[in-house]
Structure 1
Amino acid sequence: MNSLRPKKKKSFKNVKKTFQNISKEDLKTKADKLKGASQKHVSKFVVKRWDSISNARLEIITWLVIVFGIIFLSGIQLSVIQNNFMQETSIDGGTYVEGTVGTIKTLNPLYASNESELALSRIMFSSLFKMDNTGHLNTDLVKKYSISEDGKTYTLELKKNVKWHDGEVLKANDVVFTFNLMQNQEARTVLGSNWKNINKIKVQSLGDEIVKFELPLKFTNFINSLTFPIVPEHILADVKKSQLRENNFSSQPIGTGAFKFNKKQQIGEGISSKTGDDQGYSVTMVSNNDYYEGKPKLDSFRIQAYPTKEELLKAINNNDVNAAGGLNPQNIKELTNKSLDVVEKPLSYGVYSIFNTVTSQDLKEIKFRRALQFATNTDELRKSLGMKTALYSPFIAGQIPEDSIEKPEYNVEKAKKLLEELEYKEKDGSLYKGDRKVSIEMVATTDDQMDLVADILAKEWKSLGIDVKVNKYSLSDPSQNFVGSVLQTRAYDVIVYKYAITDPDVFAYWHSSQGTGVGMNLAGYTSAVANDFLVSSRTAKTSDVKLRRYIGFAKQWQQDVPAIGLYQDQLEYVKTKNSSAFSGDTKLNEITDRFNDVYKWRIEKGLVRKTP
């Protein structure tokens, strides 16, 4: 190792000596040679090969353009194929969730009393007849029917392919059984009040498929009355009539409708501060694959019932439901969910300010009632509520010719003049009859804007000096017992109420025989002339004669002013854009008529091949 060290030192010294002996010219010459060699190297291995790299890159880019071009053209081709041969449309399957207002206390259709219960009744149960999508009466469980020449006997033949949800076949005895239940006082059915003289009608089954009704008198609109839900005799026959409402059938019903009961669940927690009821319930129904009109398109249908409209609106805004009915124009303005479609439909309901002509000291006088009519601006009232259709008679639009009746005049001065003729005098802003200060007790429900209507009327009538007190009731609060403590006892001077006028036979609302107790003549209206028109219209032999009697009654009604027609009600229905519910051309008489073709509804969309 020692021998190597001197050599390194010697070598370093030699190198050093060599550089010392090189002149500047020689050093420059050598540097120039080194520079030239470097340039030749760069030219040979970089510059001359750059073209090859560029060409390779160009080929790569070209191939990428071709590949992306093929993908792009394939996308265009697929789009063309879809446009020409495929279309987006509603498809089968899924669950339709609709929100309603009203706590579900029973699923027995004979006791259904609020929007939620009535909706479930229409979906799970069937009736002999129902309104179709054109707004006309059509058969449901009935295959065909005939009416005797004297108009007193109706013979119905039932469809053969109808099954109850438990698999049993529907029979004529089921119809007879249901009819008899409604006339049984112990059963206390809600629908029973609509058949005050039901015991005078005889009904019998002739075999399994024929039902015969025999009437004591000719009643041309009797067929319109056969829209009540049919319940199964084989399940309820042995149940005591007094215990029918509390029976297990009310929680696990068996019907013949498009959907059958699956389960009932509570939604929300706690108790509603407004109604005292549970926050709400949902009822899920599954497709009835044996439905006589055909298998439903949906897999299931769910009704989510909320105690108040405020809670329903919250559910709509939070997308907790696909759709909701039973709303009004004011509710629509409160929606923040703008992704929904709004369907607006007129309904066969007339909203009235009805006068108690029996017990009210002032309202017994026709002139006093007419004064209130003069002081009521129905045009502005409708406008403020968002209602479209006027109502000037006991009939809704289209039932009698519009030019056959007069539009009531709005004229406050004429109202005051009539009051002066009756010796009413205004003192310090209040109206007096002698020493008695005139006051009116007005009743309205907090449902369907009736309370808003009452507030508007109270404000207008106060311009005459009348002290108007508005008492408001909630139909959702059973503790208030609105029907028993208000309607049946006629505990009001004026009531804001709406009548279902699906048929121009309004006997139940204005004939004097219906003026007390469970009768629906809430005005206690009595007129021999009006009675005659109402009775004779039921026995009219031709439609022309019947129409003339309806017009005669309307004119007498306007002259007597038992009520003020305010507006025809309308449905505001919201739904998601993907859902396919009742069609835009559907005409509705009642709110629940929207379910008439519920077996055709859909909730999902997808691509399907176009049919040629």
Structure 2
Amino acid sequence: MIHISLWTKFTDLLQKKFKKLSRKSHFSLTQKQDQDFVFDVIKTKHLPSLKQLKYIGKFYNDTEVLLTRASFFIMLVSSIVLGVILYQNYVVEQPSIGGEYVEAVIGAPTYINPLFAQTNDIDQDISRLIFSSLMKLNENGQLVPDLAQSYEIDEAQTTYTFTLKQNIMWHDGEALDSNDVLFTVESIQDQDFKSPLYVTFRNVQIRASDERTIVFTLAEPFAPFLSVMTFGILPERHWSDIEPSHAILAELNLKPIGSGPYKFKSLTKDKKGNIKEYKLERFDKYYEEGPFVKKISLRFFSTFQEAQSAFIDGNVDGIGFLPQYQQNEVEGHIDEHKFSLPQYTALFFNQASNPVLADKNVRLALSLATSKYEIIDTAFGGDAIPVDAPILAGMIGHTESLNTTLFDPALAAKILDDAGWKRVYNESKEDEQSVPVTSGNSALGLNDQQAKTYTREKTINKEEKNELTTLELNLTTIQRDEMIQVAQTLKNLWQTIGVKVNLQIVEIGKIQKDAINPRAYEILLFGQILGRDPDPYPFWHSSQSNNPGLNLSLYSNKEVDELLEDARRTSNTEDREEKYIEFQQKLLEDIPAIFLYSLQYTYLTPKNIKGIATQRINHPSDRFSNTTSWFIKTKKRLNFNL
């Protein structure tokens, strides 16, 4: 390079100068020392130091000094340029362990146990972080092996063989093996455990052929079987001594031991015993790379307003879910992630709780008087998708050819008239059922006479007695602003056809225990998450009518049961699709529910958290499906393999 050649020229010149001087005269002692010093510089293999360079002027003329200075300047500039090039092209930023993420969540945990977690979203959130499963979902919502290194399915599609990865450790340092998987499934199959997964594994045989191999044998093909392999595995050594009937009371349900990327650290309760915060820390012996975020904490709030205030005040870093109408209020240093989620919100009729709902004409009238677009505009500002059936777009069995009910309040009123529900006008006194001006009666197809406020009555035979019954219904939903708005809109719509509606609002943390589990409601406004496979069996088969089943309408139809059972047995996609279409048509004819809308899942995180690559989730807890890739801290290093 140029600075090396100039240095060579410089040393040659010095040697010539000294030879010339030595021929002309004798040096003094000081001059001799200077000569020795300079020759030492010449002999060195390195560039001169700043101390050595001060002698250059004694041996260079002005031109040579200028040339030397220029060479050193060029050398300095070239070094800087080289450094910039190296930094820009070969220095990479990599995730580093460190940082903490605190998330606000609505509700509270109850059982952080994969055998019980299906009925509580927060339980599933924490279980996803603590436990591992045979299969898991990647950031694109696709099934991939987790604990399993590989799996095989026989030609009959009734035998599934899983081989575990090596060197998998529990959070207590013990090794995980096939006996833990065997114990977990056998616990699910034990009815005393009362796991919601019982029905799925009821007729499944399982054996551990060695420490790393588990074999599942099905009585008949079950198309969604791989999808249900995402349940977490329990450590046998900690649970085997606990009686199944007492399992729900075990301390391990709140202080679990798993094999996932994060392990339990601590929990904080208030004076009433309510859990207010749950802290996790990274498991440094996790079998895959990561996680990089050192700590994750979940803080629990009763309402979205409380969570939103905590976020704005900087007490939390992110929010697990925020309704669309509140998102503009938390703009700032956040990243907004919108995930596709197979979910719908519907009205579920519990016909056993109110004989009025057993009248199909009443259910049909309510369906005709329900404007999905008005609900979506009022509660979500238009940011939702109307839904007419239980199988959503993009899933096996979805079709646009179903005979669905259109919005027609005039026809709804006529159906009730013809069914004997007489109108009772209340013009003489202030009417609690008065229709607000904003409901837009003319747009609903109601004339002035129909728009007048009224209720309905009918004589119904109850226990061999004729009783005058008012058409009055109780609508139950959760204490969440947008759900209350939907319920209020439904109340306004239905009262235009003479139906009196009482709203019953239940706290999110209590809806499962107080309403859903005991089926203590007449009409339930609630959302259901379908999962990766569209299998409607858990939601509509008659065997799932009671807790822990998910048939919230207590719907029972033998033909539908057979269709759902047959669809589960076949691996032929076309056959499944045909059966699902037929199932949906029969369901819509019976009207056990009114399907309303589907929402995207909006997840808010701070901008300093990187690596969130998730696009599609099948459950809100899947937002944590790739936490091993999240990072806050980074480190830099040279990489010449780019």
Normalised by the shorter chain, which TM-score bucket? Answer: 0.7 to 0.9
Q: Which residue of 1 aligns with 2:414?
A: 417
The question of 1:557 aligning with 2:587 is answered yes
Match runs of 1:202-221 below 5 Å: 202-221=205-224
Contact 1:281 1:306 in 2 (8 A): no
Displacement of 1:505 after TM fit?
A: 0.9
Tell me the CA shift for residue 483 of structure 1.
Answer: 3.9
1:101 aligns with 2:100: no
How far the C-alpha of 1:439 sits from its partner, in A, is 0.7
Q: Residues 528 and 109 of structure 1: is their aligned pair in 2 closer, same or farther, counting only changes over 3 Å?
A: closer
The match for 1:346 is: 340
Is 1:436 paired with 2:469? yes
- TM score, norm. by length of structure 1: 0.78
Q: Is the 8 A contact 1:430 1:466 kept in 2?
A: yes
Which SS does the other structure have where 1:363 is aligned? helix
Question: What is residue 53 of structure 1 aligned with on the other side?
Answer: none
Find the residue that maps to 2:140 and give its secondary structure. Answer: coil
Deviation of 1:433 after TM superposition, in Å, equals 2.1
Answer yes or no: is 1:280 the counterpart of 2:276.
yes
CA contact (8 A) 1:96 1:301 kept: yes
Deviation digits for residues 114-169 of structure 1 (CA, Å, limit 9, x no counterpart): 44432221111101112222222222112222233333332222222311122222
Cα distance in 1 for partners of 2:85, 2:100 equals 32
* Aligned AA (1:567): Y
Of 382, 394, 400 in structure 2, the residue corresponding to residue 398 of structure 1 is 394
Q: Does 1:236 align with 2:242?
A: no
Q: Is the 8 A contact 2:148 2:162 kept in 1?
A: yes
Query: In the TM superposition, what are the counterparts of 1:211-610 in structure 2 within 5 Å?
Result: 211-265=214-268, 278=274, 280-285=276-281, 287-335=282-330, 338-386=332-380, 387-399=383-395, 400-406=397-403, 408-428=405-425, 429-434=454-459, 435-447=468-480, 449-477=482-510, 482-483=511-512, 485-502=514-531, 503-583=533-613, 586-604=615-633
Cα distance in 1 for residues equivalent to 2:87 and 2:384: 42
CA displacement, residues 149-204 of structure 1 (integer Å, 9 cap, x when unaligned): 3333322222223111222221111011112222334444xxx0232374432222
CA contact (8 A) 1:102 1:114 kept: no
Gaps of 5+ in 2: 1-75, 426-453, 460-467
- Distance in 2 (alpha carbons) for counterparts of 1:283 and 1:114: 18
Check the 8 A contact 1:102/1:305 in 2, yes or no.
Answer: yes
1:386-434 Cα deviation digits (max 9, x unpaired) = 2422211011221144433355311111211222221222221112224
Alignment RMSD, CA only? 3.0
Aligned residue type for 1:498: G
Q: d(CA) in 1 for partners of 2:77 and 2:421?
A: 86
Which position in structure 1 is the counterpart of 2:36? none
Which one-letter code corresponds to 2:584 in the other structure?
Answer: A
Which residue pairs with 1:158 in the alignment? 164
Once the two structures are superposed, residues 410-462 of structure 1 have per-residue CA deviations (whole angstroms, 9 ceiling, x without a partner) of 11112112222212222211122244221112221225843332222122111
Give the whole-Å Cα distance in 2 for the aligned partners of 1:471 and 1:75.
71
Q: Which amino acid aligns with 1:228?
A: F
What letter matches 1:282 in structure 2? Y
Percent of pairs with identical residues: 26
The structural deviation recorded for 1:91 is 5.0
TM-score computed with the length of structure 2 as normaliser: 0.75
Q: Compared with structure 1, are the counterparts of its residues 167 and 490 closer, same or farther at alpha carbon in structure 2 (3 Å cutoff)?
A: closer
Conservation of the 8 A alpha-carbon contact between 1:100 and 1:305? yes
* Secondary structure in 2 matching 1:196: helix
Structure 1's 185 and 331: CA in aligned 2 closer, same or farther, altered over 3 A?
Answer: farther
More moved, 538-547 vs 81-90? 81-90
Q: Which residue of 1 aligns with 2:55?
A: none
- Quote the Cα distance in structure 2 between the aligned partners of 1:114 and 1:522: 15
C-alpha contact (below 8 Å) 2:303/2:479 kept by paired residues: no
Paired residue total: 525
State how far apart, in whole Å, the 2-side matches of 1:376 and 1:412 are.
Answer: 8
Match in the other structure for 2:60? none
What is the correspondence of 1:78-93 to structure 2 with a 5 Å cutoff?
A: 92-93=97-98
**Where do residues 117-128 of structure 1 align in structure 2 (5 Å cutoff)?**
117-128=123-134
SS state at 1:226 partner? helix
CA distance in 2, matches of 1:73, 1:451: 68
The match for 1:36 is: none
1:313-358 CA distance string (max 9 Å, x none):
12211122222213221332443x5222222223122211111234
SS of the residue 2:319 aligns to: strand
CA contact (8 A) 1:394 1:557 kept: no
> What residue identity is the alignment partner of 1:405?
L
* CA–CA separation in structure 1 for the residues paired with 2:260 and 2:488: 41
Aligned position for 1:31: none
Question: Is the Cα–Cα contact under 8 Å of residues 279 and 295 in structure 2 kept in the other structure?
Answer: no
Contact 2:150 2:164 in 1 (8 A): yes
CA distance in 2, matches of 1:563, 1:548: 22
Name the CA shift for 1:96/1:166 in 2 (closer, same or farther; >3 Å): same
Letter in 1 for 2:540: W
Matches within 5 A, 1:26-105: 92-105=97-110
Once the 2 structures are TM-superposed, how far is the Cα of residue 216 of structure 1 from its aligned partner? Answer: 2.9
How far the C-alpha of 1:76 sits from its partner, in A, is 11
Kindly indicate whether the alpha-carbon contact (under 8 Å) linking 1:349 and 1:568 is maintained by their aligned counterparts in 2: yes
Name 1:132's counterpart in structure 2. 138
